[in-house]
A = this chain, B = another copy of it.
Amino acid sequence: MTSNLATAQDPTGSPPRPSPAAIVALKAALGDIPFVDDPAVVRLRSRDFFWYSPILKEELRGKAADLVVMPRHEADILHVARECTARRIPIVVRGGGTGNYGQMVPLAGGVLLDVSGINRVLWLKPGLGRFEAGAKLIDIDITAVPTGWELRMHPSTKRTATIGGFVAGGAAGVGSIRYGQLRDRGSVAALRLVTMEDTPRAIELRGDEVRSALHAYGTNGIITEVEMPLAPTWPWTEAIIAFDDFMTAARFAQALGESAGIVSKLVTLIAWPIPSYFKPLREFLPDGRTIVIAMIAVPSLEPFHSLVKESAGTITLERPTPADDDPSVIPLYEYTWNHSTLQVLKIDRTVTYLQSIFVPGRNLEQVEHMYGKFGDEVMLHCEFQRRQGRVSCSALQVVRFSTAERLREIIRYHEENGVRISNPHTYILEDKGPKIVDGDHQLAFKHLADPYGLMNPGKMSRWVPAP
């Protein structure tokens, strides 16, 4: 596979790296702020899960920061921002490093700012919470759930991802069947960001203003705090439901998602043979069957069982969702969203994957068409979620790779049939698809917050450095 599969290359070319002298001077200016410059460690910390993509794997090979800086509080971040701005040294922010697109892989060296040490729950009140950017999603829920509230949605990487990383690089997740997309109005209450102006400062973006920095890969601000709406907690049950037939399962997933009377948090459709790669669950995954993985509120189990029965499904596993502070059981959500792909890749590194967004209202028809067209070559895995006021689905298809030509053909066929491909083989923000990037809010905010183009350079292709 060659890199020409990426739909766009970095139009700014490879951003210039800081000089060794500048890095030496920076280290001296850091004072007591901890940092690591052991090249082996820095190289390791400079990676995320981009290796899902053979294209990114090639493109990002060897890319690394010059040093990893570990700020202890926002004052440290302001200090680092000032010293880096003065020396025109790039900063890339790292949370849990769970991204799949090389979002936080430094293209131009400089500082990898590891904010995982800045991770306090600042406050919780009914329906809202405020967190430092490095707070892990699981730790937020461990703190919040006893108060009766939980995050509305989280990625399948809940156990390692941070809240700052989620809003900087995520789009949706477990909970999106109820609360929609991260970019929906109201999904993120506020962001606090540090700029890289000559005199860096912290700026608060509230309400609709958060669009400026949401899903911007940290190209226009160092997120230091995130205020999020919370959902009332439910006791959750997780289940696997097996079906004889793919479309029967798909229709069940749609019906479950649309059931106003049944409280669900996760509705995932996974076509055989993807489940054959889920080794730890094999006893619950009958050969040849499509499965649905679901999270259902305990008080909704009775109507859920009625719907399963009516839909000719068989429940092969049903158990309480493991508590966040119980590391002994792997929750089923770690077989959904992009973890499904990971489970396959653990066993077979020759496959690759796609991400696509189906049209609300036509999604089942499109899914059926693609399933019929590609069969096992493009193994379907769909995540049901609220989108544009509807229940629809996106897919993270696992693709049996043959040639780059064939992959292009598959992508083209989807696009020609109205299925939007959100290219997982690019680290360029704009190439993720037209709707991922929120217009010029992001660019305008970058002009304000990052006038020298030092934040995660090379990721936002619209940005043209001042001459």
Residues of A in contact with B (beta carbons under 8 Å apart): 125-128, 148, 178-181, 184-187, 189, 206-208, 229-230, 232-235, 254, 257-263, 297-300, 302-307, 310, 361, 386, 388-391
Contacts and interface: CB of A to CB of B under 8 A. Distances in A.
Contacts of A298: 126-127
A299 B261 contact: no
Contacts of A299: 125-128, 189, 229-230
Given A127-B298, A127-B299, A232-B234, A186 B262 contact: yes
A261 B306 contact: no
A154 to B, nearest CB: 15
A208 to B, nearest CB: 5
A207 B306 contact: yes
12 contacts: A126-B235, A126-B299, A127-B299, A148-B148, A186-B259, A186-B262, A189-B299, A208-B310, A229-B299, A254-B389, A260-B386, A390-B390
A261 B388 CA distance: 11
Nearest to A190: B302
A148 to B, nearest CB: 6
A22 B385 CA distance: 61
Contacts of A300: 127, 186, 229
Contacts of A229: 261, 299-300
A110 to B, nearest CB: 35
Task: Say what secondary structure dominates the interface of chain A.
Answer: mixed
B389 A185 contact: no
Contacts of A388: 258
A179 B389 contact: no
Given A232-B234, A299-B229, A305-B207, A262 B127 contact: no
Give the 9 A-B residue pairs with the shortest CB-CB distance, closest first. A180-B260, A127-B299, A186-B261, A258-B389, A232-B232, A186-B303, A184-B261, A260-B386, A187-B261
B126 A262 contact: no
A90 B268 CA distance: 52
Contacts of A310: 208
Contacts of A125: 299
Nearest to A235: B126
A185 B234 contact: no
Q: How many copies does the complex hold?
A: 2
Given A234-B127, A297-B127, A390-B389, A303 B260 contact: no
A235 B258 CA distance: 26
Contact of A303 (B207, B232, B306): B207
A230 B298 CA distance: 12
Contacts of A232: 148, 232-234
Contacts of A260: 178-181, 184, 187, 386, 389
A209 to B, nearest CB: 9
Nearest to A208: B306
Nearest to A298: B127
Among A303, A305, A310, the one with the most B-chain Cβ atoms within 10 Å of its Cβ is A303
A98 B178 CA distance: 33
Nearest to A180: B260
A263 to B, nearest CB: 8
A125 to B, nearest CB: 8
Contacts of A261: 179-180, 184-187, 229
A269 to B, nearest CB: 16
A340 to B, nearest CB: 23
A186 to B, nearest CB: 3
A126 B390 CA distance: 28
B302 A207 contact: yes
Given A186-B300, A361-B361, 14 more contacts: A125-B299, A126-B234, A127-B234, A127-B297, A127-B299, A180-B260, A184-B261, A185-B261, A186-B262, A189-B299, A208-B303, A230-B299, A232-B233, A258-B388
A185 B306 contact: yes
A263 B187 CA distance: 11
A75 B380 CA distance: 57
Among A263, A302, A305, the one with the most B-chain Cβ atoms within 10 Å of its Cβ is A302
